[in-house]
Structure 1
Amino acid sequence: MYSLLSFLLPPSSSPRRPVSHSTSVAVEAECTHGRKGRRIASSVFASDSWCTRVPSNLFRLENKEEEEKKSKTDDGRRWEKMEEEASLLLLPPGLLRETMPRHVAVIMDGNSRWASFRRLPVSAGHEAGYRALREIIDLSSSWGIRALTVFAFSTENWLRPKAEVDFLMRLFEGLFKEHLKDFNRKGIRICVIGDTSKLPESLQILSREAEKDTKHNTHLELIVALSYSGRSDIVQACQKVAHKVKDGILDPSDVTESIIAEELETNCTGNFPYPDLLIRTSGELRLSNFLLWQSAYTELFFAESLWPDFGEADYIKALASFQQRQRRHGRRI
């Protein structure tokens, strides 16, 4: 029995064949429907001789048994995931998909000042900053950003009062423990970088479990920098390369920038090691020892908002600024 899709196909010079899972491919797409600016997700089905776009809410299989059978197969699950992702990838007005940064890095600064201005304990500022982080993760996932690196805790932050450090460690544990199911549902992969040996053992265990449980997710790579130092990252990369030279694996003349870059911690997933855009909040104009090698050609955006106040409007402003720039990488355009 033909589905509704059969009646929506355009004429073809070749004989029309029933739509089958083996001859059709679903890809992500968007279409504009109704009043201006309203977007809905759609599915595109392509065969050897035709291609047409069908809004998702029109696609229904008439045969209920066939639908149930398909949903139980691997192809069916991939189908559903692609439609779900297509529905998520809706950008706010003013942002263009073709110039969205693939990798965004964030220096989350201003929690303590936010609390101080409100005469609240520092812990309240960190809790508010934690909520801001969850929002930015969700927005990044929804807007199709492929990697998000957040500077959560620097090596210098160990010098802060013990009570504050302990509170932050508990927040990080909550990130990996309480939101793991949500990360998996949204296809978010976790990667923790930095000198993790200094972290509490409970946090080390939770972070390793989060990395293991999400390693097959591909929608968004969330790289969390804990006890991280940009200088130390470069040093450890050089040490690894030096060991390879010592062991005869590499010749000194073969050591290049790319060889060192392969050993940097942000290369933990092997996909997006360099950020396209780095955002720092609270009005401070410095990198604070964050991603020093990786940010050689990164576009910088400094926001006046304190991190707990940094929300969707601020994020859109940073992304819009990035899209207005020409990235030359030293070349003349």
Structure 2
Amino acid sequence: MSLEKVIDYKNSELLMKIDKQKLPKHVAIIMDGNGRWATRKGLPRSFGHKQGVSVLKKILKAAKNLGCKVITVYAFSTENWTRPTKEVDFLLNLFSEVLKNEIEEIHEESTKIKFIGDLTPFPKNLKEIISNAESLTKNNNKFLFNVCVNYGGRQEIVKAAKKLALKSSTGEIKPSEINEELFNSELLTGGIKDPELLIRTSGEKRISNFLLWQLAYSEIYISDVLWPEFNEHEFLKAIIDYQSRNRRFGGIESLPNESFEDSQYFS
């Protein structure tokens, strides 16, 4: 039996364990371990990033086929600028290359792509490619793919607070009107339902300044697998683990299963 058939068989076994009525509609992913994977194999770190893109394409397909509605990935953090200039330049060029090559297929699959973060420092050509991709897919509503680039959770919260402070100082809103719903609307993810599940690869047990507000009640799944070796089988394991959790949201007993319209996952 070929390796592909073995993997398919294992995936089929896992699929039988999944309750389609209890799927996390929004899954966030910290794709960690590209550099370590390459180093362990004696390869340049760039090979790890390229392999990471291939894995992401497979996981997006698996999520869509399973019935998830939103995937949000941490592609480039505000802290990543401290990496060697050569690696940063490679990553920015990789973003451009992948977007140009994949955007038509993304659009044909009725996927909306949204970039979350401060794009100001990015090269002009990359900003244009991102803008064109978002414009092309803005009306798609089958699946939402959020890409967090030059993103930091603390920075996002500070910016939201500043926006509300300005609105309050100009009389647009009263301080007493500020609540969680209003604050949430000022975030870069405003209008998008919070993730039910966060997956982090490489075994690291931290959230690295990612979606600090939005992950308040998310279930967290840590995979020891490095991102370039993550696959559909590992993704299904994360979903099954999520479904085994008793989500109490700070209470004693689980809340009744909620039913949301797909539109609630899109901004």
**TM bracket (short chain):** 0.7 to 0.9
- Structure 1, unpaired ranges of 5+: 1-90
> Which stretches in structure 2 are left out of the alignment for 5+ residues?
1-13, 254-267
- Whether the 8 Å contact between 1:188 and 1:219 is mirrored in structure 2 is yes
Shift of 1:92: 2.7
Matched with 2:82 is 159
- One-letter identity of the residue aligned with 2:231: G
Looking at structure 1, the residues matched to 188 and 252 of structure 2 have their Cα atoms a distance apart, in angstroms, of 31
Kindly state the Cα deviation for residue 137 of structure 1 after the two structures are TM-superposed.
1.3
Task: Pick 1 or 2: higher relative contact order, CA cutoff 8 A, min separation 6.
Answer: 2
> Is the CA contact 1:130–1:171 (under 8 Å) kept in the aligned structure 2?
no
- Which amino acid counterpart does residue 197 of structure 2 have in structure 1? L
Aligned-residue CA RMSD (Å): 1.1
Give the corresponding residue for 2:28.
Answer: 105
Of 112-121 and 162-171, more deviation after overlay is shown by 162-171
- Counterpart amino acid of 2:15? P
Paired residues in the alignment total 240
TM-score, normalised with respect to structure 2: 0.88
Secondary structure in structure 2 of the residue aligned to 1:301:
strand
1:330 offset after TM fit, Å? 1.2
Alignment of 1:219-238 (within 5 A): 219-238=142-161
> Does 2:242 correspond to 1:319?
no
Tell me which stretches of 4 or more aligned residues in structure 1 moved more than 4 Å.
Answer: none
Matched residue type, 2:196: D
Secondary structure at the counterpart of residue 266 of structure 1? coil
Q: Would you tell me which structure has more helix in proportion to its own residues?
A: 2
Do residues 264 (structure 1) and 191 (structure 2) align? Answer: no
Given the two structures, how large is their TM-score scaled by the length of structure 1? 0.71
Q: How does 1:1-333 map to 2 (within 5 A)?
A: 92-267=15-190, 270-272=191-193, 274-333=194-253
Which residue is equivalent to 1:61?
Answer: none
Q: Tell me how far apart the structure 1 counterparts of residues 121 and 66 of structure 2 sit (CA, whole Å).
A: 34
- The letter for the 2-side match of 1:323 is Q
Higher Cα Rg, which structure: 1
Counting aligned pairs with the same residue, the percent is 43
Alpha-carbon separation, structure 2, partners of 1:117 and 1:271: 38
Counterpart-to-counterpart distance in 1, 2:95 and 2:17: 33
Cα distance, 1:124 vs structure 2: 0.5
Letter in 2 for 1:211: E
Write the distance in 1 (CA, Å) between the matches of 2:42 and 2:123: 30
